[in-house]
């Protein structure tokens, strides 16, 4: 079904939501609603740590210059630049589609990542609450999950995340690649400042939700020197794990990133690009499986060593709890809105 443009989209910056959101962006957002056939996608890439993912939204108001998901917007007939940030597709039936998947006899209760593509806690989630409803369903079924987000809106759902942690397992990875609020604002204009993301991390940790930090992406020459500070602040906020990935500049991501970088840091931009080439074998990107998420060569080895030393020193090596398949169960039909076995396959 083709997405339908919403004439009067909800305003996530309304007074009911300002606790979780910062100032609205200067550009107008267009919202398109669609009903998806399925929202749980299988991943066959050897470079990511999950098999299944769920994305309630397409496009992302975070507007991160480096976002690897930008080219996916072109499949909708939109652009990978400003369209990706301002023309957002909302899968309004995401919770119902998730429930259909969990009701299939073929579903075995494997962990689901929210999200594998765009941020499940981008500002529109304040109004649509699709991620929250999906988490509630996962808790009903005892289905494990992991969350990767830059959005401080995740604080709103601390109750359901704590419940999911008890019913099955969950870990929230908060992505904070920059220590400086100023640098973050230049590269991630629609995301809350790092200090507020650390506050969200602490709120989750204090509620008993396992949390980790994602240094994603690592951009040589721009934020590699931030690694020790970011890991220290994460530890202080209650994180027990950390991971790092190299910036990916494939396809249309590259011109968006370079334009933003040169506009924000004219004196540093060419040095940053040169250092990216240095860890990418002379190129600005590498799409090869097993290589695209990290660099190579002496400079990259030094960055990885720096990361590992501080991870060990701070005790951020804790692995996610082993999934407990037996926690998955199908609740009685009256708790699944009468879906029963209609979707068994």
Q: Cis before residue 153, ω within 30 degrees of 0?
A: no
> At residue 338, does pLDDT exceed 60?
no
3-17, 70-84, 218-232: range with highest mean pLDDT: 218-232
- Taking the CB of residue 50, how many other CB atoms lie within 10 A of it? 16
Within 10 angstroms of residue 215's Cβ, the number of other Cβ atoms is 22
Are 172 and 147 within 8 A, CB to CB? Answer: yes
What's the pLDDT band for 345 if we cut at 50, 70, 90? very low
Average pLDDT over residues 228-254: 96
Among 223-227, 232-236, 305-309, 331-335, which is the least confidently predicted range?
Answer: 331-335
Cα separation, 63 vs 65, whole angstroms: 6
The predicted structure's pLDDT at residue 242: 97
Average pLDDT over the chain reads 89
Over residues 243-259, mean pLDDT = 94
Distance CA 145, CA 343 (A): 22
Domains of the chain: 10-317 (3.20.20.70)
Helix (H, G, I), strand (E, B) or coil at 247: coil
Would you call 282 exposed, middle or buried from its count of C-beta atoms within 10 A (0-12, 13-18, 19+)?
Answer: exposed
What is the per-residue pLDDT across 78-131, written as a single tens digit (0 to 9) for each? Answer: 999 999 999 999 999 999 999 999 999 999 999 999 987 899 999 999 999 999
Residue 54: strand pairing partners:
40
Q: Which of 36, 154, 23 is nearest to 97 (CA)?
A: 36
As to burial, measured by CB atoms within 10 angstroms (0-12 exposed, 13-18 middle, 19+ buried), residue 75 is: exposed
What is the predicted pLDDT for the residue at 44? 77
Average pLDDT over residues 179-186: 97
Both tokens assigned to 290:
């097993």
pTM: 0.88
Q: DSSP string covering 40-100, please? A: EEE---TTSS-SEEE-SEES-TT--TT-TTGGGGGGGT--SSHHHHHEEEEETTHHHHHHH
- Distance CA(197)–CA(35), nearest Å, equals 31
Checking if the pLDDT of 289 tops 60, the result is yes
With beta carbons less than 8 A apart as the criterion, state whether 335 and 92 touch. Answer: no
Q: What letters, b where the CB count within 10 A reaches 16 and e where it falls short, cover 76-87?
A: bebbbbebbbbb
Instruction: Write the pLDDT tens digit of every residue in 47-86.
Output: 677 799 999 999 999 999 999 999 999 988 899 999 999 9
pLDDT for position 7: 57
Task: Output 290 or 156, whichever has higher pLDDT.
Answer: 156
Q: Could you give the dihedral angle defined by the CA atoms of residues 153, 66, 248 and 120, in that order, rounded to the nearest 10 degrees?
A: 20
So what's the pLDDT on residue 286?
A: 85
Instruction: For residue 215, give the nearest of 227, 233, 199 by alpha carbon.
Output: 227
Query: Given a cut of 50, is residue 344 above it in pLDDT?
Result: no
């Amino acid at each position: 079904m083709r997405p339908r443009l919403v004439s009067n989209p909800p305003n996530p910056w309304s007074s009911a939501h300002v606790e979780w959101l910062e100032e609205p962006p200067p550009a107008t957002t267009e919202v398109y609603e669609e009903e998806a056939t399925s929202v749980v996608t299988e991943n066959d890439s050897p470079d990511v740590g999950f098999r299944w993912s769920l994305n309630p939204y397409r496009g992302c108001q975070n507007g991160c210059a480096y976002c690897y998901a930008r080219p996916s917007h072109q499949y909708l007939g939109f652009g990978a630049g400003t369209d990706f940030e301002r023309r957002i597709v909302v899968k309004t039936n995401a919770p119902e589609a998730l429930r259909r998947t969990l009701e299939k006899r073929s579903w075995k209760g494997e962990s689901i990542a929210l999200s594998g593509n765009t941020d499940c806690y981008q500002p529109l989630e304040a109004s649509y609450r699709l991620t929250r409803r999906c988490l509630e369903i996962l808790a009903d079924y005892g289905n494990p999950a992991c969350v990767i987000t830059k959005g401080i809106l995740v604080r709103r759902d601390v109750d359901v995340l704590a419940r999911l942690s008890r019913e099955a397992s969950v870990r929230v990875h908060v992505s904070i690649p920059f220590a400086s609020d100023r640098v973050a604002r230049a590269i991630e204009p629609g995301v809350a400042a790092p200090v507020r993301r650390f506050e969200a991390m602490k709120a989750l940790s204090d509620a008993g939700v396992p949390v980790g930090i994602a240094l994603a992406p690592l951009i040589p020459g721009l934020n590699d020197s931030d690694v020790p500070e970011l890991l220290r602040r994460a530890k202080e906020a209650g994180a027990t794990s950390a991971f790092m990935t190299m910036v990916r500049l494939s396809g249309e991501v590259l011109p968006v990133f370079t334009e933003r970088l040169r506009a924000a840091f004219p004196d540093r931009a060419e040095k940053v690009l040169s250092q990216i080439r240095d860890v990418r074998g002379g190129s600005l990107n590498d799409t090869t499986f097993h290589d695209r998420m990290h660099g190579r060569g002496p400079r990259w080895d030094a960055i990885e060593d720096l990361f590992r030393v501080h991870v060990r020193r701070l005790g951020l090596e804790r692995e996610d709890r082993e999934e407990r398949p037996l926690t998955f169960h199908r609740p009685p039909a009256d708790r699944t809105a009468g879906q029963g076995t209609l979707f068994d396959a």
